[in-house]
Amino acid sequence: MRDLPSLSALRSFEATARHASMTKAAEELRVTQGAISRAVQALETDLGCPLLRRSRPKLHLTEIGHLLYSEINHSFDRVAVVIRRLREQQRGGQLAVNSLPTFAARWLIPRLPRFQSQNPDIRIDLTTSENRIDFSVESIDVAIRYGLGNWSKTASLRLMDEELAAVASPSLLAAHGGELLPEAVDAHALLRHTTRLAVWDEWLKEGGAAAFEPTGPGFEHFFMVIEAAVAGMGFALLPLFLIERELREGALVIASPRRLRRQQAYYLLFAAERRYDPKIVALIRWLKDEIAQDQGGERGMPQRAEAVA
């Protein structure tokens, strides 16, 4: 057995520290204030040091109390995540997916009906963000992110590269002579994706032109940049697989034959200890099939999925 104090004492201390009140801790844990006080005192006796300074109107943590509280609080959060996952598994096959916003809207959601038809017992709960995911404390099973594949303490599957092309509305391109030339670019005419500010710089350098800072309107997400380009606000450098519909319907046209391929790619991320979770395995198998079909020409994805340790 681990040499640990009682769980009751740890829970009493954690609730007291979080509320800075034994009364509120007692209400939360549905015990008397005296029971909370005795449990905290027993914990202090066990550790041989005070954890709380008792002064009105609130209790205050000692330095050691702060240290213990931060560790207990984090550990309880992790246990809560595991318990939620176990309960969700008993209720059914929920799979919480967090994706980049435009990737979700443009690529993932249109394909999800095929996943659901192949896996009727798995219910997808999809959210979007660009933040780093901590699988140890967040109720997220897998995440789709763009980067170099160097996420620490996280298993990953390389899904796809991307090929970016300069595009514009037909009227804007015609007004600029029918082609966007790297050596004759107007900085004010370049739309900026504010979380990928380096892409125009890379495109210009590969075209042999001197790099400069674009000064056109900036947008946080690709779907915003796409809409701005369709509206004729400027030239955009966009992944081709995200704008298939606009290119097919003529809302956007290719402004330059030059393409940009970056080292970064799209990855599926998940906690390493869950690599054999049946729901995650099912999702990985389906993603590989979808990308393989795109590679075969039925749809438009650049690269096949590749496992990364």
Mean pLDDT of the chain: 88
Encoding tokens for residue 76? 């309880």
Task: Give the domain-ending residue among 41, 57, 87.
Answer: 87
Q: What is the CATH classification number for the domain harbouring 190?
A: 3.40.190.10
**157 alpha-carbon distance from chain centroid:** 14
Least confident of 114-118, 258-262, 303-307: 303-307
Q: Is the pLDDT of residue 90 over 70?
A: no
For residue 2, being part of any structural domain is answered with no
pLDDT band of residue 222 (cuts 50, 70, 90) is: very high
77-100 exposure pattern, b = at least 16 Cβ within 10 A, e = fewer = eeeebeeebeebeeeeebbbbbbb
Q: How far apart are CA 18 and CA 36, in angstroms?
A: 13
* Torsion angle defined by CA atoms of residues 183, 185, 190 and 195, in that order, rounded to the nearest 10 degrees: 20
Task: Give the domain-ending residue among 72, 87, 102.
Answer: 87
Asked if 208 and 183 touch (Cβ cutoff 8 Å), the reply is yes
Q: Give yes or no: residues 150 and 284 share one domain.
A: yes
Least confident of 36-45, 147-156, 201-210: 201-210
Q: Give yes or no: residues 156 and 290 share one domain.
A: yes
Tokens 């959060």 found at: 77
Q: Exposed/middle/buried for 234, CB within 10 Å: 0-12, 13-18, 19+? A: buried
For residue 38, being part of any structural domain is answered with yes
Q: Give yes or no: residues 66 and 209 share one domain.
A: no
For residue 59, the model assigns a pLDDT of 86
For residue 181, being part of any structural domain is answered with yes
Q: Give yes or no: residues 231 and 177 share one domain.
A: yes
Percentage of the chain lying above the pLDDT 70 cut? 92
Tokens 């980067």 found at: 147
Q: Residue 234: give the domain boundaries.
A: 163-261
Tokens 């495109």 found at: 203
Q: Give yes or no: residues 250 and 188 share one domain.
A: yes
Q: How far apart are CA 240 and CA 38, in angstroms?
A: 65
Residue-wise pLDDT tens digits, 268-302: 999 998 888 889 999 999 999 999 988 765 443 33
Task: Give the domain-ending residue among 261, 277, 293.
Answer: 261
| Domains: count for the chain | 3
Q: How far apart are CA 127 and CA 147, in angstroms?
A: 19
For residue 309, the model assigns a pLDDT of 38
